[in-house]
């Protein structure tokens, strides 16, 4: 069943399509695509991220070869010194690159970049690096092109580490304020991963996939959303948020299992969040106002235009599984 479904959902032409090819053929195209590990379009062979070394502040770009990050140049460039990631490139043609986050309303200082060599892993048979956030670290793009604003629909996913999280605010990836200040309910819409119980929560003890929709991480429409079960024991997690014009959905599961993705919630937003007032910046590793007390790991993620179908969610998750995280 699963194999037949995947074959019929993927476009025939490109040899190994990426998640953004799947979203494009489904009519909900990526408007931003960021990855430390691999190309997210079959036809992408450009830069993935930029590292800067502490010894002389020189920079080096890590590119894609055969679809995966080619990190030999990074290892040579950073030998004997420390490198931080200063930019994660947008693989779409929209230039929505993530740079180290500047001053924000909550943090009152600029964010540090992650240590580029802190977290090594295997993906698809190649050694690559993930972005390992240890607190006080974050990225953002305040001036974007094509990202949802107001009440426009969008879909986001990220692949994150299942066992590296905390309850601090906020390990997020997605849509946020354009000036790093808190503009109140509905002014952001990002994926959250962790076990914060400060606003809303799912069943059990977490960690959960929630949506940061500003002044609140929400596991559903209620303070305690029983359908949103914790995802425990997975080394790699697919986390998705779909923001509709009248409601939202949360999905998540083990990123190495084809039967892993579960719908955790789909329905109305909590009271006073409709209509949304999205501003269209993109954040990573921090809250919309640059709250920077969370830890977490980022491997890849995208933001699309439009509300993806259930079939598209499944095809994207299957594509992530096929990429071979941990193998
Ligand atoms: C790459 O593929 C995407 C969709 O799969 C398409 O929209 C885009 O135009 C392609 N880019 C190039 C440079 O061919
Ligand atoms: C690299 O960073 C570590 C931890 O901050 C520090 O102890 C070490 O001295 C640094 N090494 C170099 C060569 O800068």
What is the tens place of the pLDDT at every residue in 173-227?
999 999 999 999 999 999 999 999 999 999 999 999 999 999 999 999 999 999 9
CATH code linked to domain 19-323: 2.60.120.200
Q: Is the CB of 89 under 6 A from ligand 1?
A: no
Six token digits for residue 243? 């923001």
Probe target for ligand 1 pocket from 24, 29, 44, with the most ligand atoms within 8 Å of CB: 24
Q: What is the DSSP string of 80-116?
A: TS-EEEEEE---STT---EEE----TTT-SPPBPPBT
Show the CA angle centred on residue 263, arms to residues 231 and 154, nearest 5°. Answer: 110
DSSP label at residue 187: S
pLDDT above 90: residue 105: yes
Is the omega angle on the peptide bond into residue 247 within 30 degrees of 0, that is, cis?
A: no
Considering every ligand atom shown, identify the ligand nearest to the alpha carbon of residue 92 and give its number: 1
What is the tens place of the pLDDT at every residue in 223-254?
999 999 999 999 999 999 999 999 999 999 99
pLDDT at 9: 52
Q: Which residues line ligand 2 (CB under 6 A)?
A: 54, 81-82
pTM across the whole model: 0.94
Q: Which residues of 182-198 are buried (b: 16+ CB within 10 A; e: fewer)?
A: bbebbbbbbbbbbbbbe
């Amino acid at each position: 069943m699963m194999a037949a479904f995947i074959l019929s959902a993927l476009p025939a032409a490109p040899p190994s399509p990426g998640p953004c090819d799947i979203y494009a053929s489904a009519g909900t195209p990526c408007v931003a695509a960021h990855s430390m590990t691999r190309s997210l379009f079959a036809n992408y062979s450009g830069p993935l991220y930029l590292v800067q070394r502490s010894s002389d502040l020189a920079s080096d770009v890590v590119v894609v070869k055969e679809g995966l990050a080619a990190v030999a140049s990074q290892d040579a460039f950073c030998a004997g010194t420390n490198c931080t990631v200063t930019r994660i490139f947008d693989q779409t043609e929209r230039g929505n690159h993530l740079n180290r986050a500047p001053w924000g309303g909550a943090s009152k200082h600029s964010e540090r970049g992650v240590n580029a060599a802190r977290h090594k892993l295997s993906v698809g048979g190649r050694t690559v690096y993930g972005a390992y956030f240890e607190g006080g670290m974050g990225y953002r793009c305040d001036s974007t092109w094509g990202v949802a604003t107001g009440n426009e629909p969008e879909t986001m996913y990220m692949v994150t580490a299942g066992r590296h999280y905390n309850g601090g605010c906020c390990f997020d990836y997605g849509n946020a304020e354009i000036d790093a200040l808190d503009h109140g309910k509905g002014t952001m819409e990002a994926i959250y991963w962790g076990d914060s119980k400060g606003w809303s929560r799912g069943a059990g003890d977490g960690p959960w996939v929630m949506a940061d929709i500003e002044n609140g991480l929400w596991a559903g429409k209620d303070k305690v959303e029983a359908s949103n079960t914790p995802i425990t024991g997975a080394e790699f997690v697919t986390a998705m948020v779909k923001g509709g014009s009248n409601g939202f959905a949360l999905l998540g599961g083990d990123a190495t299992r084809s039967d892993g993705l579960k719908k955790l919630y789909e329905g109305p937003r909590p009271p006073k969040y409709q209509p949304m007032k999205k501003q269209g910046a993109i954040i990573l590793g921090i809250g919309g106002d640059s709250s920077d007390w969370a830890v977490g790991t980022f491997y890849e993620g995208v933001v699309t235009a439009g509300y993806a179908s259930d079939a598209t969610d499944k095809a994207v998750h299957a594509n992530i599984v096929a990429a071979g995280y941990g193998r």
